[in-house]
Amino acid sequence: MSSLFNDYQPGKFFDEVFSAPGAARSHYEALLSNVGSLTPGDYSSLQKAVDAAFLKMGVTFTVYGDDQGTERIFPFDLMPRIIPQREWERVEAGLIQRITALNLFLNDIYHGQKILTDKAVPEELVLSASHYRPEFKGVKVPHGIYIHICGTDLVRDDKGEYFVLEDNGRCPSGASYMLENRHAMKRAFPGLLQSLPVRPVDTYGTMLRETLEHLAPKGVLDPTVVVLTPGIYNSAYFEHCYLAKQMGVPIVEGRDLIMRNDRVFMRTTKGLEQVHVIYRRIDDDFLDPLVFRKDSLLGVPGIINSYRKGHVALANSIGTGVADDKAVYALVPKMIEYYLDQEPILPNVKTYLGIKKKECAYILDNLEKLVVKAVNESGGYGMLMGPSASKKERSDFADRIKANPRNYIAQPVLQLSRHPVFVDDHFEGRHIDLRPYVLYGDRVRVVPGGLTRVALRKGSLVVNSSQGGGSKDTWVLWDECSDKAASTQLAA
Amino acid sequence: MRFRVFHRTRYVYRAPVRDSYNELRLRPVTDNKARLEFFLLNVNPPARLRHFRDDWLNYVHYFDVPEPHLDLTIEAQCTINTTNPYADGHPTGVKFATLKTDLDDMVVPFLGGSRYVDVSPEIWRLGIDIRDECDDVFEAAGAVMHHIYKNWAYAPNTTTVSTHMSEVLETKQGVCQDFAHLMIGICRSLGIPTRYVSGYLYNGHDSHLRGAQASHAWVEVHVPGRGWFGLDPTNDTLADERHIKIATGRDYADAAPITGHFDGPPGATTALQVELEVRRTDR
């Protein structure tokens, strides 16, 4: 075994690589025998070369509400996270089950609301979600699918068990980093990936495009797909451009689109061209000033009307935010039971709801043990890490919870699994999570792997890039048989 | 063997239909020979699924779509691990006499006639001829399987899902479902409890097996003291780890993958599309 890891301490956490000091898990052995031959100096210079490449290519994100420069490189740690096939298959199955149930839920909430009539979930909780769009009730969406692109956050606890932390069913970001991380690995270790059975992720662009094309209005054989971005000041602008390029489709801003006869057209140098499918990376609120926020300059006036009439498709659909409200999250296991008549494959993290009197009292009594989250915030904003917060922070948060209990949920602090991360000249354990990308087009497909995010600050449990998180390449190992041929024919 | 199955059935209607109610037998069996690791059903128009176990312990999922719709898609996907039920050898050595002495109440429904199967004098005479002097239950069942395979022609599109065994007996042709019904009739006439099995057949690149990569049907005979054993008359082979079992019953009527009803104009269904992919994921 390598000298690089001689002094590595897995600690009392679930370590992804080492089950005990010096004892690597079997799916990491091949990697360690390769990387292990490097000296810390070699490794460090590889890491520096990758950092320089990220800066040069502009693999960045933007931090809001911070004075020290807004655009940052997304820190990348060279040592990949590896998931063996069997483990991955269970994750994949759980994600397919979950996105299926979430879509059935959304379809129901925007049509008959049977789940509410049957009292399978509390009505007041669902209908009070701030991203619920009652104006969208009764609108038929293509194929009845609402969430086409989902980025579900998974974590593992101190026993290595996977849990769903949240479902990002609005505009999940990060897929571009997943793709760039893989490129970076290939440059840093030429030949290594080919020698190991790592499932590719670079088909994401094609898969995403197929998913979007599947939504095109009936009869359109060669649909025009575009990526709609809020513009260069958005934190994920790099990603919007990157994905448009990967798919080979134009990237547009609201002002590039115009309505004519209920249809959406794009201004091009050759005149107007009709747009059939829009991968919109703008929140509902800003999409159409005629329907949602009147002050929005980012959207396209009239686009919702065109969507209602079926002339243009939007991915994701409108109002999906009701499903990734952090309080509605707590109901997903019930949705799986209600719609699919099954048990959830991937469990939720135990969640206390502020809206429920008893649970709210529990939250207020146990703030120092809990993570409290505002239900509609993302990116690690608006949360309280109970154990590490100061007394004052806790009492401030308690006041906020009392003022608006619906707006808060709390969860026990999970001891997230750790992974070795290169710090200065050696490896140290850091907490990680996993965001796999689920695409729902002709059928549900999950990109093997996803984005592993790392809490780079020692001891930190917050992996969001906006809070000092980095990322890793994620390898799903392939031991699928060579016989992948699949045929399609009519039943006997 | 380990398989990933994706099975999609789509009905297209020429005019809107409504109040559709459907029952699905699409969930593979988990028993000591096969383990279902993952199973998911999804239908479009979106509907809530529920399930019950029927008289034969099959999982039956059901749903309704009240609102008018122009097409209906039913998707089943699963990951399943199978083993060869014959790994410990064939259940031979059981004499015909034990069929009477060891009669188990559980197998009585599989001895007489059912919707698509008759135990008629004609079929009994055929059974006697095939059995010849054989006194071993399992070997006699094997002889019936060989006989059907040798003397009946595999002819897709000559029969329908509701073709009765007696017609198959006469025309000497059909597909897997017909051969299963015929074999059930012959074996039952000999006093061997026999049931219908619907499922999938994995065939890899081996194109000589019929019904490969499509919904398949075969039979199971009950050998007293040993249990149920599968035989596939369409392919003249014992049902092994390539046979993924979904539902069992007296005949097709008990094990049909999809049955349903809707309100709509006569002949509303203009197309039925089936997509089936059985992919091996081990090796």
Angle between helices A85-109 and A332-340 (to 10 degrees): 80
Regarding whether A319 and A367 lie in a shared domain, the answer is no
B204 touches chain A (CB under 8 A): yes
Tell me whether residue A78 is in a domain: no
pLDDT confidence bin for A67, thresholds 50/70/90: low
Q: Are B74 and B22 in contact (CB under 8 A)?
A: yes
- The pLDDT value recorded for residue A64 is 63
- The pLDDT value recorded for residue B263 is 95
Regarding whether A394 and A297 lie in a shared domain, the answer is no
Tell me whether residue A22 is in a domain: no
pLDDT at B212 over 70: no
Report the b/e string of A380-412 with b at 16+ CB within 10 A.
bebbbebeebeeeebeebbebbeeebbbbbbbe
Regarding whether A330 and A372 lie in a shared domain, the answer is no
Distance from CA of A15 to the nearest CA of B (A): 26
Q: Looking at beta carbons, which residues of chain B come within 8 Å of A143? A: 44
Regarding whether A359 and A333 lie in a shared domain, the answer is no
Tell me whether residue A441 is in a domain: no
Tell me whether residue A156 is in a domain: no
Per the structure block, which two tokens stand in for A45? 């210079």
Q: Looking at beta carbons, which residues of chain B come within 8 Å of A484? A: 279
pLDDT at B233 over 60: yes
Distance from CA of A476 to the nearest CA of B (A): 14
Count of domains forming chain A: 2
Which domain does A390 fall in, by range? 352-412
Q: Is the dihedral of CA B204, B208, B209, B213 positive or negative?
A: positive
Determine the residue of chain A that is closest to B281 in CA distance. A480
Q: Looking at beta carbons, which residues of chain B come within 8 Å of A489? A: 213-214, 276
pLDDT at A407 over 60: yes
Q: What is the mean pLDDT of residues A138-165?
A: 95
Instruction: State the best of A87, A199, A334, A341 to mutate against chain B, taking most chain B CBs within 10 Å.
Output: A341
pLDDT at A485 over 70: no
Q: Looking at beta carbons, which residues of chain A come within 8 Å of B41? A: 340
CA atoms within 13 A on the CB side of A475: 25
Cα separation, A311 vs A262, in Å, equals 7
Determine the residue of chain B that is closest to A486 in CA distance. B277
Contact A104/B282, CB-based, under 8 Å?
no
Regarding whether A370 and A324 lie in a shared domain, the answer is no
A72-76, A427-431, A488-492: which has the highest mean pLDDT? Answer: A427-431
pLDDT at B213 over 70: no
Structural domains present in chain B: 2-83+257-280 (2.60.40.2250), 97-255 (3.10.620.30)
- The pLDDT value recorded for residue B283 is 64
Determine the residue of chain A that is closest to B6 in CA distance. A443
- The tens digit of pLDDT for each residue in A247-261 reads 999 999 999 999 999
What's the pTM value of the predicted model, to 2 decimals?
Answer: 0.91
pLDDT confidence bin for A58, thresholds 50/70/90: confident
**Boundary-marking domain end, from A290, A311, A340:** A340
List the single residue in A90, A107, A487 with the smallest CB-CB distance to B213.
A487
B48 touches chain A (CB under 8 A): yes
Regarding whether A357 and A293 lie in a shared domain, the answer is no
Give the containing element (helix H, strand E) for A263: strand A263-268
- The pLDDT value recorded for residue A68 is 56
Contact A491/B177, CB-based, under 8 Å?
no
- The pLDDT value recorded for residue A489 is 32
Contact B49/A341, CB-based, under 8 Å?
yes
B155 touches chain A (CB under 8 A): no
Contact A342/B40, CB-based, under 8 Å?
yes
- The pLDDT value recorded for residue A344 is 97
Q: What percent of chain A has pLDDT over 90?
A: 72
Contact B46/A489, CB-based, under 8 Å?
no
- The tens digit of pLDDT for each residue in A298-326 reads 899 999 999 999 999 999 999 999 998 99
Regarding whether A334 and A361 lie in a shared domain, the answer is no
B275 touches chain A (CB under 8 A): yes
Chain CA centroid to CA A128, Å: 24
Contact A490/B279, CB-based, under 8 Å?
no
- The pLDDT value recorded for residue A482 is 40
Cα separation, A63 vs A57, in Å, equals 18
Look up residue A21 and give its DSSP letter: T
Contact A482/B77, CB-based, under 8 Å?
no
Regarding whether A395 and A370 lie in a shared domain, the answer is yes
Regarding whether A130 and A263 lie in a shared domain, the answer is yes
- The pLDDT value recorded for residue A234 is 86
pLDDT at A272 over 70: yes
State the residue for tokens 């505009």: A171
- The tens digit of pLDDT for each residue in B116-170 reads 999 999 999 999 999 999 999 999 999 999 999 999 999 998 999 899 999 999 9
DSSP string, A399-449: HHHHH-GGGEEEEE-----EEEEEETTEEEEEEEEEE-EEEESSSEEE-SS
Regarding whether A123 and A219 lie in a shared domain, the answer is yes
Contact B75/A339, CB-based, under 8 Å?
no
Q: What is the mean pLDDT of residues A201-221?
A: 95
Q: Looking at beta carbons, which residues of chain B come within 8 Å of A334? A: none
Distance from CA of B121 to the nearest CA of A (A): 29
Tell me whether residue A60 is in a domain: no
- The tens digit of pLDDT for each residue in A13-24 reads 999 999 999 899
Contact A483/B280, CB-based, under 8 Å?
yes
Regarding whether A301 and A381 lie in a shared domain, the answer is no
**Boundary-marking domain end, from A412, A436, A454:** A412
Determine the residue of chain B that is closest to A108 in CA distance. B46
- The pLDDT value recorded for residue A457 is 87
Instruction: State the best of B275, B278, B282 to mutate against chain A, taking most chain A CBs within 10 Å.
Output: B275
pLDDT confidence bin for A486, thresholds 50/70/90: very low
pLDDT at A490 over 50: no
Q: Looking at beta carbons, which residues of chain A come within 8 Å of B40? A: 93, 96-97, 100, 340, 342
**Boundary-marking domain end, from A412, A437, A458:** A412
pLDDT confidence bin for B205, thresholds 50/70/90: low
- The tens digit of pLDDT for each residue in A76-88 reads 999 999 999 989 9
pLDDT confidence bin for A463, thresholds 50/70/90: confident
- The tens digit of pLDDT for each residue in A154-203 reads 999 999 999 999 999 999 999 999 999 999 999 999 888 888 899 999 99
- The pLDDT value recorded for residue A66 is 55
B158 touches chain A (CB under 8 A): no
- The pLDDT value recorded for residue A65 is 58
Determine the residue of chain A that is closest to B50 in CA distance. A341
Regarding whether A379 and A336 lie in a shared domain, the answer is no
Counting DSSP H helices and E strands in chain B, the numbers are: 6, 14
Q: What is the mean pLDDT of chain B?
A: 93
Q: What is the mean pLDDT of residues A424-438?
A: 94
- The tens digit of pLDDT for each residue in B48-69 reads 999 999 999 999 999 999 999 9
- The pLDDT value recorded for residue B208 is 47
Report the b/e string of A318-330 with b at 16+ CB within 10 A.
bbbbbbbbbbbbb
B282 touches chain A (CB under 8 A): yes
pLDDT confidence bin for A55, thresholds 50/70/90: confident
Tell me whether residue A476 is in a domain: no
- The pLDDT value recorded for residue A190 is 87
Determine the residue of chain B that is closest to A340 in CA distance. B49
Report the range of poorest mean pLDDT among A136-150, A442-456, A472-486, B91-105.
Answer: A472-486
The CATH number that applies at residue A129 is 3.40.50.11290
Q: Looking at beta carbons, which residues of chain A come within 8 Å of B45? A: 144
Determine the residue of chain A that is closest to B207 in CA distance. A487
Q: What is the mean pLDDT of residues B185-206?
A: 90
Amino acid (one-letter) located at B189: S
The CATH number that applies at residue A379 is 3.30.1490.270
Bridge partner list, A452: A434, A472
- The pLDDT value recorded for residue B214 is 66
Distance from CA of B95 to the nearest CA of A (A): 35
